[in-house]
Amino acid sequence: MNRKLITGVFALFICGMAYGQSFKDIYEKSIHDNTKVGYPPLREADVIWSKKIWRIIDLREKMNQPLYYPTKAMPDGRTNLIGVLLAGIKSEQLNAFNVDDMNVNVTYADVEAKLGAGERTEAKYNDAGEQIGDTIIMASAEDEFVNIKQIMVYEEWYFDKKHSSLSVRIIGLMPIKVKQNDATGRLDREQLFWVRYDDFRDSFAKHEVFNTGNDAQRISFDDLFMQRRFASTIVAESNVFDNRYISDYLVGKDVIFEAERIKNDLLTFEHDLWEY
């Protein structure tokens, strides 16, 4: 009897130890020690053609969901793109800039205000849709960044004659908040702030992006952007009309056709330089 009792107590002790220990990966991941890959040297004399492009990454598209999820930081430290941006700005180690001028800094408090963080009053409705009063909501920036559904990418395509190749470099990223307006019932889009892509590359390189097909081959945010693993739509190209958007001079399906025309021009430019 005593032997059975001792065996049972020992088994419970071992189980308690096992449940008390935290779960962890079967091997140590090194992505937190990653560093960005440097750009190849580029001289002004080697750039014989360039074109600035603005495009929208819609985070609701399936291919772009690794940029949007998780909406809250995971226990292992994994977060989404906006979480990485806000953490860098909040620490004051990295800068955010005004929507209209990339040379004017904005503070984290400014970013929180644009996100709608803080105390606000919202109307309260019953099941019949009648307003029955108001309710006070306290929200943090981390609570509100789930409403950031789009990212504008500002980039420059160029032909490098030294390497005889067409390349692209991202210059800036701008989060866009998309939220339904209760008064109008329509979606409102608000541009929040610019960040310089090069400023955040070190931070991007140390944060992993979820790979739906292989947990052992997760890449970093920097890898995702450098390898162009995202879906996007062109919304503007550099032009004489103060870099106006396509939607400023076209409507409906013509906007899509114009975006495709610009995309095809980029893809065929390098091909047209050669003779066969």
The predicted-structure confidence for 102-133, as pLDDT tens digits, reads as follows 889 999 999 988 887 766 666 777 777 777 77
Which residues face 152 on adjacent strands? 56, 174
Task: Identify the residue whose tokens are 């025309």.
Answer: 261
pLDDT at residue 4, as a whole number: 59
Percent of the chain with pLDDT over 90: 54
pLDDT at residue 127, as a whole number: 76
pLDDT of 18 over the 70 cut: no
Q: What is the C-alpha separation between 123 and 128, in angstroms, rounded?
A: 14
Which residues face 151 on adjacent strands? 57, 175
Banded model confidence at residue 156, pLDDT cuts 50, 70, 90: very high
Highest mean pLDDT among 3-17, 97-111, 224-238: 224-238
Looking at the chain, list the stretches that DSSP marks H as alpha helix, in order from N- to C-terminal side: 2-20, 65-68, 81-90, 108-115, 141-144, 197-205, 221-226, 253-272
More confident residue, 185 or 169: 169
What is the average pLDDT across 29-49?
88
What is the average pLDDT across 129-155?
80
Q: What is the mean pLDDT of the chain?
A: 85
pLDDT of 188 over the 90 cut: no
Q: What is the C-alpha separation between 57 and 152, in angstroms, rounded?
A: 6
The region of weakest confidence among 2-6, 37-41, 219-223 is: 2-6
